[in-house]
Amino acid sequence: MQALILAGGKGTRLRPLTVYTPKPVVPICNRPFLLYQLDTLRRAGVTDITLSLSYQPEKIEQQLGDGSNFGVKLKYTVEPQPMGTAGAYKFAEELIREPTVVFNGDVLTDLDLKAMIRQHKERQATASIFLIPVEDASMYGVVETAEDGRVQRFVEKPKPGETNCRNINAGAYVLEPKVLDLIPKGENYSFEYGLFPNLLEKGEAFFAHVPPRTYWMDIGTPARYLQAHHDMLANRVTRFHLKDRRGDFDSATHSEIDDLSIVADDCTIKPGVEIINSVLGPGCYIEERARIENSVLWSHTRVGAAATVKDAIIGRGCHIGRSSLVGAGAVLGDKTSLTDYTKTCA
């Protein structure tokens, strides 16, 4: 079994965070996102992994290298321009000889991949797709299935009234290499609108995998990116245990950091500071009486005295002036500087 991770999208919905950091390596609890997917693959015994890139590929290669630090073997393909999800798989064809696990490079999940691969083999499927139920399916691809688990219909980004089904494509597939013959070469082509409906028309064995009690989140918008952090901090994502929430940093005796929060190496926490349910990247500097709550701060950000940061995401190397209030929904790109007393909300 091999794997291909689709990591070539621009991450536009996650801007400004993705202006300097491609979505596949935005940090989740201070680790580049793709490392969680590499963990999932490695645990299922899949170590021959190709990353399909297009946007800022050098930044991804720089962080992950040949994969040896993470117990896997990484290869890269870089499309001259994005070829679509299935087009990207076709573009990597030379590297693919075996049945392949394909992941959308932006889903955080504690999927038991071994069980999914087992089911794929037992059913002698041509393709298997991981499904997850959600409340609002309008932003995803709905997948309707029969009683026996066979896939029957795809409705990508359904409009109101188009389907009542709430099971969506969770962005993980197991594909037999023969499906490559159904993807046109050198064209922009998608799994969701192209290959999958085509497999159904051809009557191929295409099965859904609907695992019990599985965490799933597409991290592709700021709200979901922040939610993924809260879920990680509350240990709702099983299989990824946060070993050490405290790095090596200086903190004043009269400051409070709750048990949920993660504070990385080389931070400075001054007296009277409160840090609640938040993640601080390396080298953050939090001045007297500042309060950080339900927020994510990337590395080397400075928060001035008596400032409050709540329900917000702050990029790398930002400066939040003293007594500022950065509130719900705020997303600051790298190197943002806020003047003292700034308010981003009432």
Asked if 334 touches Mg ion (CB under 5 A), the answer is no
CA distance 175 to 120: 9
Any catalytic annotation for residue 157?
yes
Nearest residue to 144 via CA among 128, 131, 127, 159: 131
Provide the token pair at 2.
């091999």
Give the SS3 label for residue 102. Answer: strand
Question: For residues 156 and 176, which CB has a smaller minimum distance to ligand GDD in the complex?
Answer: 156
Measured from the CB of residue 48, what is the shortest distance to Mg ion in angstroms? 24
Report the residue number, 9 or 27, with the smaller CB distance to ligand GDD: 9
Pairing status of strand 73-78 against strand 100-104: unpaired
Which tokens in the block code for residue 102? 């394909």
Which of 220, 281, 283, 304: binder of Mg ion (CB under 5 A)? 220
Q: Is 308:323 a contact under the CB 8 Å cutoff?
A: no
Give 197: exposed, middle or buried? Use CB within 10 Å, 0-12, 13-18, 19+.
Answer: middle
Q: Count residues contacting Mg ion (CB under 5 A)?
A: 3
What single-letter amino acid sits at 319? H
Contacts of ligand GDD in 243-282 (CB under 6 A): none
Q: Are 49 and 67 in contact (CB under 8 A)?
A: yes
- Is 135 or 147 the residue whose CB approaches Mg ion more closely? 135
Cβ proximity to Mg ion: between 172 and 326 the closer is 172
Nearer to ligand GDD, 92 or 232 (CB): 92
Binders of Mg ion among residues 255 to 294 (CB under 5 A) are none
Task: Give the amino acid at 109.
Answer: T
The nearest distance, CB 132 to Mg ion, in angstroms, is 13
The region, left, alpha or beta by phi > 0 then psi within -120 to 50, assigned to residue 134 is beta
Asked if 110 touches Mg ion (CB under 5 A), the answer is no
Q: Establish if 128 lies at the interface with ligand GDD (CB under 6 A).
A: no
Residue 192 in the binding site for Mg ion (CB under 5 A) = no
- Backbone phi, then psi, for 342, in 5-degree steps? -65, 145
> Of the candidates 101, 111, 105, which has an alpha carbon nearest to the alpha carbon of residue 215?
111
Q: Residue 9 or 27: which CB sits closer to Mg ion?
A: 9
* Region from 29-37, 105-113, 284-292, 334-342 binding ligand GDD, contact rule CB under 6 A: 105-113
Please pick, among 73, 157, 335, 343, the residue that the annotation labels catalytic. 157
Out of 48, 192, 274, 287, the only residue in the binding site for ligand GDD (CB under 6 A) is 192
Structure tokens given for 185 = 């070469």
Among positions 8-47, residues that touch ligand GDD (CB under 6 A) are: 8-9
**Inter-residue contact 23 to 12 (CB < 8 Å):** no
Q: Which of residues 69-88 bind ligand GDD (CB under 6 A)?
A: 79, 82-85, 88
Taking CB positions, which residue lies at the least distance from Mg ion?
Answer: 220
Peptide bond into 16 cis (omega under 30): yes
Alpha helices for 2-152 (secondary structure H): 34-43, 57-64, 85-91, 113-122
Using CB under 6 A, which residues numbered 143 to 182 contact ligand GDD? Answer: 156, 168-169, 171
Closest Cα partner for 93 from 20, 182, 30? Answer: 182
107 binds ligand GDD (CB under 6 A): yes
Interacting stretch for Mg ion, rule CB under 5 A, among 104-112, 119-127, 155-163, 276-284?
104-112
Measured distance CA(238)–CA(242) in Å, rounded: 10
Positions marked catalytic:
157
Where on the chain is the footprint of ligand GDD (CB under 6 A)? Answer: 6-9, 52, 54, 79, 82-85, 88, 104-107, 140-141, 156, 168-169, 171, 192, 218, 220
Where on the chain is the footprint of Mg ion (CB under 5 A)? Answer: 106, 218, 220
